Amino acid sequence: MSWIKGVLIAIDQLGNAIAGGNPDVTISARTGYFANEFKTKLQFYWKTMEYIINFAFYPIDGPDHCHKAYKADEDESHKAGSDFMRAILGLITIAACILISILTRVYVVILPGVKFKNA
């Protein structure tokens, strides 16, 4: 399971880098930081992103996935990115979270009671 988790985190970090973020930070951690720790005019954007991501990961990670991801990686720097990069981030997140939402819900049906540790 750790190999799969490592590959998924690497893909997540690649998505974050493509969308103008720190390449060593996941989309969840970036979102958790800007939704909860850094006050900005774009709070609605970051809170909406956080809701979408938290919904996708809820079956395997419980509530507050994004803030937990930020806290696990809070020593990293976070970049909000330009409007264009945030639009790319939103598109990547929505597309990925549709798939993740389906997979996480199928996962808990097939293997009920099993959770990833510190996902």
Domain boundaries, the chain: 2-110
Most confident range, picked from 49-53, 61-65, 70-74 = 49-53
pLDDT tens per residue, range 67-111: 999 999 889 999 999 999 999 999 999 999 999 999 989 988 887
Q: Would you state the pLDDT for residue 1?
A: 53
Q: pLDDT of 1-45, one tens digit each?
A: 588 788 888 999 999 999 999 999 999 999 999 999 998 899 999
Please say whether the beta carbons of 41 and 1 come within 8 A. no
pTM of the entire predicted model: 0.88
CA distance 41 to 9: 29
Concatenated DSSP letters of 59-78: HHH-S-HHHHHHHHTTTS--
